[in-house]
Amino acid sequence: MLSLNIKTELRSIFRNYWLASIAVLLFVLCFYAGWNGTNHVSQRKENIAQAVTAMKEADILMATQLDSISNGFEVNLQPWWYPTSPTAVGDQYPRVAAFHPTSLTFIATGQSDMFSHYIKPIMTGDSYTLGFTELTSPVSLLMGHFDLAFVVVYLLPLVIISFSYNILSTEKESGSLVLIASSPLNVSLWLLQKLSVRFVVISGLLSLCLGLVLIFNGNNFNAKSLQLFTTIILYSAFWFALAYLINLQGRSSSRNVIVMLGFWVVFVLAIPSLASQWANAVYPVPSRALLVNEMRSLKAEVVKEQDKLLDDYLRNHPELIGVNADSDESLRRTQQYFAAKDMVEQRIQPLLSTYNTNLEKQQTWVSRFAYLSPAILAQNSLNHLAETSSEHYDSYRQNVRDFAEQWRDFFLPMTFEGKIFRKEIIGQFPEFHFDKTAIRSPIPINSTVLLVLASGLLIVGFRTRGAHEMEKIMQ
């Protein structure tokens, strides 16, 4: 009976124009979204590559200038920017601390449109003033991007709804349900078999489209792509399971489609937006405006102490520290400059730490709302796989701040000891490595929740409507 039912269902699906339309639609959507994602990633790669090339060229020029200086030639630079000064090198020849895209970055824009993908921390820069937001149009941020995540999270459920809302109701409306009822069938099982066939067909089509998009993007099939397929298939399973439950209610096709679209609005639009707004109302993001105020007040206090160490003018223009000063005076001023800087950092750091801890608590609390909607779970998983999640950017920021400190510490001893910077030291420059090990993957838990939700809906449907309820459905 099972095989007969599956055969019949497959035959009816393949004879129907819906499947061809859906196949074309999925193919077009996946390729267009994939192409957009690839463009976005290419721009990011190109920007980083340009910055790295410029850095390498600057290094070569610096080496040439150092040779010229050591040979007693003039170089076309103001004296305070001579690369013989470690402070000048630390400021003028920064490294590119880049966040490179991975092979799956193209699938979800996530937070990548908002933040910078390379930063060049300098020696005299303040780690607390490092800016990470990218120069981008807020209109683009508001509208969002047409990426694969959008196709999966928003559009895929609609494709599923259009492919599954009328399975039972069509039979009822065309009168063939009477024929089915005359056979010894459990209606729940019969519907489950039909929906399972459709689930396999849609999952297969989608996997094929995605597989092709991945291949065109030069991806190998690995653990990450497997996680991508798992996430999408489980998300589809949830919507098919919901369709199963709604079909079983035995209502008309128009009623079914209204109810299913209602669920789509609730899960994809209403809950995420309500959760986001509600979370911020109940546990607001700590105020940046007030943080600015507190930092300013604190700085105003520290300025008086800093004045005792070094005049404001040289604090604002450290490059001029050596002008009109002998080497001892210059060294003394440099030490005072960094001591004055440290004084501010040390005073501001606790304030910033408190703010960041509060922000982290707020974000942890808000992230719990993800479990209210399968759409949020799927989006979070896709962002994680694409490495465009909030957690990735938080971690990147921390890595860059650590590197900024490392960069400064590399030059500071040379500056304090009054050493001359030499060409050989270029090869010893610290390099930036983005350590992502602290980022926890939400995929195992998100996938489990999606699986539990889908199974739960199937069990509820299977238990509440048995063969004995066929009469009710037929009414």
Contact between 136 and other proteins by CB under 8 A: the answer reads: yes
Contact between 353 and other proteins by CB under 8 A: the answer reads: no
The residue among 96 and 414 lying less far from other proteins, judged by its C-beta, is 96
Residues 141-180 that bind other proteins (CB under 8 A): 141-146, 150, 154-155, 158, 161-162, 165-166
Q: Which residue has the tokens 């995540």?
A: 149
We find the least distance from the C-beta atom of residue 261 to other proteins, in angstroms, to be: 6
Contact between 140 and other proteins by CB under 8 A: the answer reads: yes
Structure token digits, residue 467: 């063969």
User: In this structure, which amino acid lies at residue 24?
Assistant: V
φ/ψ (deg, to 5) at 114: -105, -25
> Of 13, 122, 257, 451, which one interacts with other proteins (CB under 8 A)?
257
**Contact indicator for 113, 105 with CB cutoff of 8 Å:** no
Structure token digits, residue 273: 């937006």
We find the least distance from the C-beta atom of residue 195 to other proteins, in angstroms, to be: 18
Structure token digits, residue 256: 């079914």
The residue among 2 and 143 lying less far from other proteins, judged by its C-beta, is 143
Residues 362-421 that bind other proteins (CB under 8 A): 363, 366-367, 369-370, 375-376, 379-380, 383, 389-390
Residues 268-297 that bind other proteins (CB under 8 A): 269-270, 272-281, 284-285, 287-290, 292-293, 296-297
**Contact indicator for 132, 397 with CB cutoff of 8 Å:** yes
> Of 10, 63, 303, 474, which one interacts with other proteins (CB under 8 A)?
303
Give the distance from CA 43 to its chain's centroid: 16
We find the least distance from the C-beta atom of residue 137 to other proteins, in angstroms, to be: 6
The size of the interface with other proteins (CB under 8 A), counted in residues, is: 93
The residue among 46 and 409 lying less far from other proteins, judged by its C-beta, is 46
Contact between 56 and other proteins by CB under 8 A: the answer reads: no
We find the least distance from the C-beta atom of residue 9 to other proteins, in angstroms, to be: 20
Contact between 354 and other proteins by CB under 8 A: the answer reads: no
Residues 429-448 that bind other proteins (CB under 8 A): none
Distance (Å, whole) CA 201 – CA 453: 21
φ/ψ (deg, to 5) at 325: -140, 145
Show Cβ contacts of residue 110 under 8 Å, excluding neighbours closer than 6 positions: 149, 382, 383, 386, 388, 389, 390, 392
Residues 317-336 that bind other proteins (CB under 8 A): 317, 320
Residues 215-254 that bind other proteins (CB under 8 A): 253-254
Distances (CA, A) of 439 to 391, 393, 398: 6, 10, 12
Distance (Å, whole) CA 391 – CA 441: 10
**Contact indicator for 411, 89 with CB cutoff of 8 Å:** yes
We find the least distance from the C-beta atom of residue 292 to other proteins, in angstroms, to be: 6
Show Cβ contacts of residue 69 under 8 Å, excluding neighbours closer than 6 positions: 75, 82, 83, 84
Contact between 427 and other proteins by CB under 8 A: the answer reads: no
Contact between 352 and other proteins by CB under 8 A: the answer reads: no
**Contact indicator for 247, 164 with CB cutoff of 8 Å:** yes
